[in-house]
């Protein structure tokens, strides 16, 4: 993942930079907000901004919004900057990190934002066939459509293909079409010229140009609105794009990979997806089988996640008991690999014996929420699906957030540090929220405990 650090690089911010690099992030630095904006406009993008709280963060966020640049921002500063921290959060910063930085916190943030790996683990013959096809086509420039249920590994597969193509040294840029509002997506993809709309105070390079020479992943393509589909079709057919408000076409050389967990032929029939675009994208279709249809992968991935989360949480490595494995092999895995990963993360935290037994494995009760499609908060919905038997519609965001936080805390047996890690928020944010809940009269699990009503 690419991190852009904004502010004078002194002492503690330098330390944060080092920790981020150790964690595998590609770090760039901008001394001022103007330089940061120029960097982003130039298409040298970032997945996350880490800004010194003493910078004018409200102004930076306002510029990003006006210029339709979509990137999350985390503020950081020392304890004595409390008022500035509050301002930053009010203005829309996602999070506040206290300095000096805590290595674990930085690692957790990077992990939450990045989830990056080009490693594609498999052992099952069903997957081996898909991998064989992927390797055959990786070196061509053919567009690829990767389909499969939610959580089957479409994004990991896209990275795998890029890593095995001649374009591997060039950028791999991904954009989630479902996560970005329609009016921003166009700028995000194609960039814009100065004056294209109110707020467009300078030229900005979009993802297409940023990915030049490399691979562009259009994630959840079925969610793209028809007008943009037309523009995308032209880009693919003619290998040129038009920046928003621009009148000179720009040549591009990219390989497109698109993903969808919806059946696009169906979407074509319903009239929500252009048939000509589907033909262009679907030169090769990699169909990822559901996890339940590749039992050998369940075992391999389960062992992998057990080792990964023991290490990440500083716990001794333990193996799965034979009973636990049997249970995993028989489960439905509506949320596929992501659900398996969350289940085993939880199991590693809950297991008490020398091996990880069935008592530590908590499978969803079949309410099927984990089947839900695009999932902006990573695996957390799948993670807590078992305890969310009610419909989310009709609840406020803060209701859902409270439920998610308390359920996660239950799963982590009240352990604040683990829960914050799993939630991808800072321990400080978690504590603040819990204090608010307690003040409002809601029972909060004590460390080492679960609420009595919990599963
Ligand atoms: N073969 C694999 N090897 C290692 N990790 C995997 C594999 N497949 C999936 N994962 C892990 O499972 C999680 C989900 O994978 P990914 O995000 O690629 O799924 P997806 O199909 O894109 O899901 P969605 O439809 O919800 O976007 C990730 O954390 C990923 O690292
Ligand atoms: Mg995905």
Per-residue pLDDT band for 369 (boundaries 50, 70, 90) equals very low
Mutate to test the pocket of ligand 1, among 122, 150, 337 (most ligand atoms within 8 A of CB): 337
CA distances from 213 to 20, 44, 209, 265, 283 (A): 27, 14, 9, 30, 19
Q: Once rounded to an integer, what is the mean pLDDT over residues 169-173? A: 87
Per-residue pLDDT band for 297 (boundaries 50, 70, 90) equals very high
Cα 90 from Cα 92, distance rounded (Å): 5
Lowest mean per-residue pLDDT among 21-25, 30-34, 111-115, 190-194:
111-115
pTM of the model: 0.68
Q: For residue 188, what pLDDT is reported?
A: 93
- For residue 310, how far is its CA from the centre of ligand 2 (angstroms)? 25
Question: Between β-strands 95-99 and 73-78, what pairing exists: parallel, antiparallel or unpaired?
Answer: parallel
- For residue 338, how far is its CA from the centre of ligand 2 (angstroms)? 10
Give helix 427-439 / helix 397-411 axis angle, nearest 10°: 110
Question: What does the angle CA 204 – CA 209 – CA 213 come to, to the nearest 5 degrees?
Answer: 155
Residue 155 Cβ inside 6 Å of ligand 1? The answer reads yes
Question: How many helices and strands, by DSSP H and E, does the chain display?
Answer: 19, 12
Above 70 in pLDDT, residue 380?
no
Q: Once rounded to an integer, what is the mean pLDDT over residues 338-350? A: 91
Q: Cα dihedral sign for 334, 338, 344, 345?
A: negative
In the chain, pLDDT over 70 holds for what percent of residues?
89
- For residue 23, how far is its CA from the centre of ligand 1 (angstroms)? 20
Task: Sketch the domain layout of the chain as residue ranges.
Answer: 2-114, 125-287, 292-439
Architecture of the domain defined by 125-287: 3-Layer(aba) Sandwich (3.40)
Per-residue pLDDT band for 146 (boundaries 50, 70, 90) equals very high
**Residue 64 · residue 56 · CB < 8 Å:** no
Residue nearest to atom 28 of ligand 1 (CA): 338
Which is higher by pLDDT, 127 or 109? 127
Q: For residue 425, what pLDDT is reported?
A: 83
Closest ligand to C-alpha of residue 134 is: 1
Reference 153, options 23, 347, 333; nearest CA is 333
Task: State the chain's mean pLDDT as an integer.
Answer: 85
Cα 339 from Cα 348, distance rounded (Å): 14
Q: Is 345 strand, coil or helix?
A: helix
| Beta bridge partner(s), residue 3 | 27, 48
Q: For residue 393, what pLDDT is reported?
A: 57
- Give the DSSP letter of residue 289: P
Tokens 């004590």 label which residue? 446
Q: Which two tokens stand for residue 170?
A: 């060039």
pLDDT tens digits along 57-116: 999 999 998 888 888 898 888 877 788 888 888 888 888 888 777 777 777 776 665 554
Above 50 in pLDDT, residue 370?
no
Q: For residue 350, what pLDDT is reported?
A: 87
Cα 272 from Cα 376, distance rounded (Å): 22
Q: Of the CATH numbers 3.30.70.141, 1.10.8.60, 2.40.50.100, 3.40.47.10, which one belongs to the domain with range 292-439? A: 1.10.8.60
Residues 6+ apart with CB under 8 A from 447: 414, 415, 416
Q: Which two tokens stand for residue 171?
A: 């950028």
Q: For residue 21, what pLDDT is reported?
A: 81
Q: Is 217 strand, coil or helix?
A: strand
Asked, colleague to colleague, whether 2-114 and 292-439 share their fold, the answer is no
Residue 303 Cβ inside 6 Å of ligand 1? The answer reads no
Class of the CATH domain delimited by 2-114: alpha beta
Per-residue pLDDT band for 118 (boundaries 50, 70, 90) equals low
Q: Once rounded to an integer, what is the mean pLDDT over residues 258-264? A: 93
Q: For residue 445, what pLDDT is reported?
A: 82
* Max mean pLDDT range (86-100, 287-301, 333-347, 404-418): 287-301
């Amino acid at each position: 993942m690419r991190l852009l650090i904004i502010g004078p690089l002194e002492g503690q911010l330098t330390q944060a930079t080092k920790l981020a690099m150790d964690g595998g992030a590609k770090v760039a630095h901008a001394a001022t907000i103007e330089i940061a904006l120029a960097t982003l406009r130039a298409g040298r993008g970032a997945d996350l901004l880490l800004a010194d709280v003493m910078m004018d963060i409200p102004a930076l966020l306002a510029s990003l919004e006006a210029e339709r640049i979509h990137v999350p921002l985390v503020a950081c500063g020392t304890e004595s900057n409390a008022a500035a921290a509050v301002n930053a959060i009010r203005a829309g910063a996602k999070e506040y990190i206290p300095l000096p930085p805590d290595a674990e916190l930085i690692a957790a943030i990077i992990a939450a934002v990045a989830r990056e790996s080009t490693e594609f683990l498999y052992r099952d013959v069903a997957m081996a066939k898909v991998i064989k096809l992927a390797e055959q086509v990786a070196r061509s420039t053919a567009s690829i459509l990767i389909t499969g249920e939610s959580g089957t590994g479409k994004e990991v597969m896209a990275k795998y293909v890029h890593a095995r193509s001649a374009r591997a040294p060039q950028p791999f840029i991904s954009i989630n079409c479902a996560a970005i509002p329609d009016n921003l997506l166009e700028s995000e993809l194609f960039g814009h010229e100065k004056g294209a709309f109110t707020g467009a105070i300078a030229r900005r390079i979009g993802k297409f140009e940023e990915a030049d020479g490399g691979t562009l992943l259009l994630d959840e393509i079925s969610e793209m609105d028809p007008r943009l589909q037309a523009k995308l079709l032209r880009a693919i057919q003619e290998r040129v794009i038009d920046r928003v408000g621009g009148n000179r076409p720009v040549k591009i050389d990219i390989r497109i990979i698109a993903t969808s967990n919806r059946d696009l032929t169906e979407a074509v029939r319903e009239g929500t997806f252009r048939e000509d675009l589907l033909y262009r994208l679907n030169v090769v279709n990699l169909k990822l089988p559901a996890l339940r249809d590749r039992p050998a992968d369940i075992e391999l991935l389960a062992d992998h996640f057990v080792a990964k989360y023991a290490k990440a949480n500083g716990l001794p490595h333990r193996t799965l008991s034979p009973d636990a494995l049997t249970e995993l092999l028989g489960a439905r895995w509506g949320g596929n690999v992501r659900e398996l990963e969350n289940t085993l993360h939880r199991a590693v935290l809950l297991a008490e014996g020398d091996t990880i037994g069935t008592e530590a494995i908590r499978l969803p009760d079949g309410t099927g929420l984990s089947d839900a499609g695009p999932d902006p908060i990573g695996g957390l919905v799948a993670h807590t699906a078992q305890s969310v038997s009610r419909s989310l519609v009709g609840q406020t965001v803060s209701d859902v957030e409270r439920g998610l936080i308390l359920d996660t805390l239950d799963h982590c047996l009240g352990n604040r540090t683990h829960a914050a890690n799993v939630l991808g928020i800072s321990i400080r944010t978690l504590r603040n929220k819990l204090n608010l809940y307690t003040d409002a009269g809601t029972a909060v699990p004590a460390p080492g405990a679960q609420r009595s009503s919990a599963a």
